[in-house]
Structure 1
Amino acid sequence: MQNIRNIAIIAHVDHGKTTLVDKIIHASQIFRENQQFQDLILDSNDLERERGITILSKNVSVRYKDAKINIIDTPGHADFGGEVERVLKMADGVILLVDAFEGPMPQTRFVLSKALALGLIPIVVVNKVDKENCRPDEVQESVFDLMFNLDATEDQLNFFTLYGSAKDNWMGPDWKNPTDSIFPLLDAILEYIPAPKIEEGSLQMQITSLDYSNFVGRIAIGRVKRGKIVENQQIALCKSDGTIKKMRVKELQVFEGLGRVKVAEVPAGDICAVMGVEDFEIGDTISDPDTPEALPRISIDEPTMNMLFTINNSPFFGKEGKFVTSRHLRDRLYKETEKNLALRVEPTDSEDKFLVYGRGILHLSILIETMRREGYELQVGQPQVIFKEIDGVKCEPIELLVVDVPQETAGKVIELATQRKGELTVMEPKGDLQHLEFRIPARGLIGLRNNVLTATQGEAIMNHRFSAYEPFKGTIPGRINGSLISMENGPCTAYAIDKLQDRGVFFVDPGDDLYAGQVVGEHSRDNDIVVNIQKGKKLTNMRASGSDDNVRIIPAKKFSLEESMEYIQKDEYLEITPKSIRMRKIYLDENERARMAKKES
């Protein structure tokens, strides 16, 4: 039996998890000296690199002294909580990473509560002690308070704390005396994280993750709980509906460094990849064919938001994307549910529309962004919060919103949050910032980030996580301004935009190709109006002095994908193609819009 440690690294987004894993990888000398590599080795996905966040959990392993340490890097966003919940099942302990200035944040609480509930032993690392204004000792105390509030056991509360800076490559027991390496952390892992508990009995392994290879198809990844798994062995797959399927293991691989190596057998306690298992889902159990026993399923928090996904039926359909039909859309969405546990897809009464349920705007936008990069064209409707009836009362999801904001703009943030039924629960100074905590309906968060960033000149730091379902809080005012809608098809002109600037703010630039019914701007009033943005200047050979000034246009307002999703109204779609994101009315024809509005009222 090898000397093994299985640890997950958990932290709030941007507290330095992936950087710390980088340093551990370098310290264990996995790379040859002349090998080239980038920073943030594990954030290998393009989207992760661009946004600077971890979206998918990853496995690596390092060798230190006579032990093998399997490390699982997890996402920090609560929107990707499904990823965290399933991979924590593979770990025996966690490294809780906390920023020495910010301290425990809402999503630290979220992932930590999951780890403590599974009985995992924590090591606390107070990172970024090189930051100015940092307060490592206070942060360590607040972590203790947080664990106490989360009902940690005596063993869990008796955690070991290290201080350091992953960026500067050091860790140590005292933040005032920096060491010169990251090895104290690896020593602490061997000392404080227990080796896997091995139960007596026949083979049991729960599938907690999956990979895909063009050569062997789907690969099941998980930790062997008891017994051992051997190449060419016959196994039983226990599925969610209670059925048991017999199959044979074709190949086994264990994690070594950043890759995987083929092995003949894997003992209990180690994490491995199994080829040859077909038709499995995450949460299924691989067990002995003679005495098949299923492990308890992985429980995942329910989705709190849904969106309508439909095929692109705009006049520009099929111009930019490869995959445009409802069959393409259906296959891609159902394929995503295989590995994205927190996502659910339901068909509607229409063949080309699907309801997709997720954890929040970010969770759904990452799926949409991934699809458009793969060449899909689609349209999505306004995000809707999922209501539930509990004991005969209509309830809605309530989120805990945390905002750190400069003192002088705190009043504006409180005003914006309370307008959306937010309830201020905590207000205290934190360094030179004001720390505000609200309980706010999830509906109230849609579109709030933009307004808060505008009101605070971009200086607010906002985080939120799901708290609980509570009775419905009443109507929340949505977007106050109406839309400017294009009247005709064709490119817009600078002349027309110039003449219409007093009507509102435009989202398009001169020369952009538009179609009738496309939303081209925000009206300065609360109603929608149709504008002729394609009108050109009448050319004559007469010139009047003074009337031919140069056209001066305010730059177009551009939205990111998440901002657009939060911006659209109930009667609008977001058209998403590999090259463009356009807002449009569901009914492009003005008369049809008026008819439908009458029908609804």
Structure 2
Amino acid sequence: MSNIYNFCIIAHIDHGKSTLADRMLELTGTVEARQMKEQLLDSMELEREKGITIKLQPVRMKWQDDVLNLIDTPGHVDFQYEVSRSLQAVEGAILLVDASQGVQAQTLANLYLAVEQGLEIIPVLNKIDLPAADVPKVTEEILKILGGSADDILKISAKTGEGVEAVLDAVAQRIAPAQQPEGKPLRALIFDSFYDDYKGVVAYVRVFEGSIKARDEIAFLGTNVSDRAVEVGTFAPSWQPSKQLQAGEIGYIATGLKEVRNARVGDTITLASSKAKVEALSGFSIPQPKVYAGIFPRQGDDLAQLREAMDQLILNDASLQVTEERNEALGQGFRCGFLGMLHLEIIQERLQREFNLDLVVTAPSVAYKVWNMRGEENEVTTPAQFPDPTHIDRVEERYANITLLTPSKYLGAVFELMKEHEGDLLKQDHLDADRVQLEYRMPLRELVVDLYDQLKSATSGYGSLSYELGQWQRADVVKLTVLVNHHPVEALSIIVTRHKAEALGKRIVHKLKDVIPRQQFAVPIQAAVGGTVVARETMSALRKDVTAGLYGGDVTRKRKVLEKQKKGKQKLAKGGKVEIPTDAYLAVFKK
């Protein structure tokens, strides 16, 4: 067999990964010129529209006498788990850096992952044709991180194709060829899996030892499930069936399974006959959700369609967690766990586009650990689960360690922003005269909601951040309950830090006063922590002129009618229930 080189491209979002992959496909003749289009490997409509990669995508190319297997990975911080999956399956990585923007936070995060895996790194400087490109400065940045000499850094323009041939040559020269041991039983690592209507569950695999053919009896060591391989093949970039997959190759196995959870990412596939003799490859765990939100159909009739849509999304997205939930304001729906706000936004858009659903999405929250007075621990992801303060011994929340890169001139705005979000500065390094690297520690709840967007605004788009989860630490958080006409509205309750409860309570009750329709009686709107009211507004009653028909006569007649109206309003207020419209519920959580 010819040498096989397995590699991936890692970079910050929008540094040109998919464009470089396009040029490689053209140069290697993998895709005919008439079939070529921009972002060829980004097959989802949403990926093409937003100009970002969401799902990793493998492709097999031939260059001279060698086989090159490329995995194109996402660059956004929310999809870092996709990058870690692809790094398990390769021997080398192209580190792609935009010559006009320089090294960014996500570049560093992905580089550290690759170095931990012991991969060969090929540094490549992209977009050298742009007027804003500063090649000498960015070259210095890369050398400061990686070491080596400036000659090791390849300079290209993925858009025009300049220098891309040298990158393909470097892959074959610098990266170690995949080992192809003979005579060993099959061991293949699953790095992605999804459901196909015709082939069942399809597992994307890297074969480390042995070989597999269609119709072989296979076993999954992690989930302890067995089945027969329906088809095996490689990516060109569409599926290309082949007789067998051998050690060193990256390809797919159509497993015939009906559920994706049986072909778990990180699991090892072997032949059923050698199951007892084979040790599992070191896999990686399914990523844990960081943000939770409720998704409900605006019309109750759409619940069955939403349930079906959720089932389909779960089939292809192992990181999405879904459980059914009932909410008194919004009815039946789903409680979902996401990797971050972009992940939530993408799931929401896919539900609206692909399934034509009109949705209500509740305010996002994070997970808390709550210990009661008996010392029992519970995980809380919704305000409804948060116990009464008198039953709580202590609460812990997750912290995140953040690496942040920004131009020096925006430092003041960044410090101010991080202070607002309870960030503790741990370290400050000047990469050069113009750029600063900051390391912060902050609560995950402050990070996940809209810090990324606020950072981009504060730094005119030049700031970037990456993060990893840190320790659980004690938190001083409380449940802020909203009461309308003295009745608690569970759907509007949120978990907040104690020192922000009053300010947030005032904002919520003020907003509710504007959006809830006025009633025949005065309606008090309150925000309370435990039994203490921290904010209050009173919505005045609709006034009906009951004395309009009284002309002349004694003044006591008017007083009698007005007194009767007053008593009627008091009676209404005692038992009157105020219906809160869905739009009011949404308006509260929009900043």
Same fold (TM over 0.5): yes
Question: Counterpart of 2:252?
Answer: 273
Question: Counterpart of 2:209?
Answer: 226
1-side partners of 2:208 and 2:396: how far apart?
42
Question: Counterpart of 1:556?
Answer: none
Structure whose alpha-carbon radius of gyration is higher: 2
- 1:343 paired to 2:306: no
Question: Counterpart of 1:447?
Answer: 450
What's the CA shift for 1:74?
0.2
1-side partners of 2:332 and 2:167: how far apart?
53
SS for the counterpart of 1:253 is strand
The count of residues paired between Structure 1 and Structure 2 equals 477
What's the CA shift for 1:372?
1.6
Question: Counterpart of 1:186?
Answer: 168
The residue correspondences of 1:190-209 to structure 2 (distance < 5 A) are: 190-200=172-182, 201-209=184-192
- 1:418 paired to 2:419: yes
- 2:5 is matched by which residue type in structure 1? R
SS for the counterpart of 2:205 is strand
Question: Counterpart of 2:58?
Answer: 59
1-side partners of 2:56 and 2:538: how far apart?
47
1-side partners of 2:10 and 2:263: how far apart?
25
- 1:262 is matched by which residue type in structure 2? P
8 Å contact 1:386–1:397 — kept in the other structure? no
Question: Counterpart of 1:374?
Answer: 354
Overall identity of the aligned pairs, in %: 27
- 1:402 paired to 2:404: yes
- 1:262 paired to 2:241: yes
Q: Sort the Cα spacing of 1:254 and 1:74 in 2 relative to 1 into closer, same or farther, 3 A.
A: same
What's the CA shift for 1:20?
0.7
TM-score normalised by length of structure 2: 0.70
What's the CA shift for 1:141?
4.9
Q: Which has the larger displacement, 383-392 or 194-203? A: 383-392
Q: Which runs of 5+ in 2 are unaligned?
A: 372-376, 378-393, 477-496, 519-524, 526-534, 542-579
2-side partners of 1:465 and 1:236: how far apart?
38
Question: Counterpart of 1:161?
Answer: 153
What's the CA shift for 1:393?
8.4
What's the CA shift for 1:308?
3.3
What's the CA shift for 1:209?
1.6
SS for the counterpart of 1:291 is helix
2-side partners of 1:239 and 1:355: how far apart?
31
2-side partners of 1:36 and 1:265: how far apart?
27
Question: Counterpart of 1:114?
Answer: 113
2-side partners of 1:101 and 1:28: how far apart?
28
> Which digits, 9 at most, give the CA deviation of each residue in 1:263-307, with x for residues without a partner?
212221112222243143233332122211352353247535232
Q: Sort the Cα spacing of 1:11 and 1:379 in 2 relative to 1 into closer, same or farther, 3 A.
A: same
Question: Counterpart of 2:4?
Answer: 4
Q: Sort the Cα spacing of 1:93 and 1:435 in 2 relative to 1 into closer, same or farther, 3 A.
A: closer
8 Å contact 1:220–1:277 — kept in the other structure? no
Q: Sort the Cα spacing of 1:412 and 1:223 in 2 relative to 1 into closer, same or farther, 3 A.
A: closer
8 Å contact 1:209–1:339 — kept in the other structure? no
8 Å contact 1:224–1:269 — kept in the other structure? yes
> Which digits, 9 at most, give the CA deviation of each residue in 1:207-253, with x for residues without a partner?
222244333233222122211111222x2322434x242x3222222
Question: Counterpart of 1:236?
Answer: 218
What's the CA shift for 1:9?
0.8
2:294 aligned to which of 309, 312, 317: 309
2-side partners of 1:120 and 1:433: how far apart?
28
Q: Which runs of 5+ in 1 are unaligned?
A: 149-155, 172-181, 319-323, 490-516, 518-525, 533-571, 576-580, 587-601
- 1:303 is matched by which residue type in structure 2? Q
- 1:252 is matched by which residue type in structure 2? V
Question: Counterpart of 1:72?
Answer: 71
> Which digits, 9 at most, give the CA deviation of each residue in 1:410-441, with x for residues without a partner?
42332222122123432648676776554333
- 1:284 paired to 2:270: no
SS for the counterpart of 1:195 is coil
Question: Counterpart of 2:43?
Answer: 44
Question: Counterpart of 1:383?
Answer: 364
Q: Sort the Cα spacing of 1:435 and 1:401 in 2 relative to 1 into closer, same or farther, 3 A.
A: closer
SS for the counterpart of 2:94 is strand
2-side partners of 1:121 and 1:202: how far apart?
27
Structure with greater helix percent: 2
What's the CA shift for 1:53?
1.1
What's the CA shift for 1:399?
4.0
- 1:250 paired to 2:220: no
1:583 aligned to which of 574, 586, 591: 586
Question: Counterpart of 1:486?
Answer: 515
Q: Sort the Cα spacing of 1:37 and 1:443 in 2 relative to 1 into closer, same or farther, 3 A.
A: same
8 Å contact 2:322–2:335 — kept in the other structure? yes
RMSD: 3.9
SS for the counterpart of 2:274 is coil
8 Å contact 1:287–1:294 — kept in the other structure? no
SS for the counterpart of 1:583 is helix
1-side partners of 2:500 and 2:140: how far apart?
40
8 Å contact 1:405–1:459 — kept in the other structure? no
- 1:363 paired to 2:343: yes
8 Å contact 1:346–1:354 — kept in the other structure? yes
Q: Sort the Cα spacing of 1:296 and 1:582 in 2 relative to 1 into closer, same or farther, 3 A.
A: farther
Q: Which has the larger displacement, 21-30 or 298-307? A: 298-307
What's the CA shift for 1:56?
0.6
8 Å contact 2:296–2:332 — kept in the other structure? yes
1-side partners of 2:243 and 2:537: how far apart?
67
The residue correspondences of 1:563-578 to structure 2 (distance < 5 A) are: none
SS for the counterpart of 1:68 is strand
TM-score normalised by length of structure 1: 0.69
- 1:166 is matched by which residue type in structure 2? A
Q: Sort the Cα spacing of 1:449 and 1:216 in 2 relative to 1 into closer, same or farther, 3 A.
A: closer
- 2:317 is matched by which residue type in structure 1? N
- 2:294 is matched by which residue type in structure 1? F
- 1:268 is matched by which residue type in structure 2? A
SS for the counterpart of 1:165 is coil
Question: Counterpart of 1:506?
Answer: none
2-side partners of 1:404 and 1:527: how far apart?
41
- 1:48 is matched by which residue type in structure 2? E
2-side partners of 1:169 and 1:531: how far apart?
68
8 Å contact 2:95–2:122 — kept in the other structure? yes
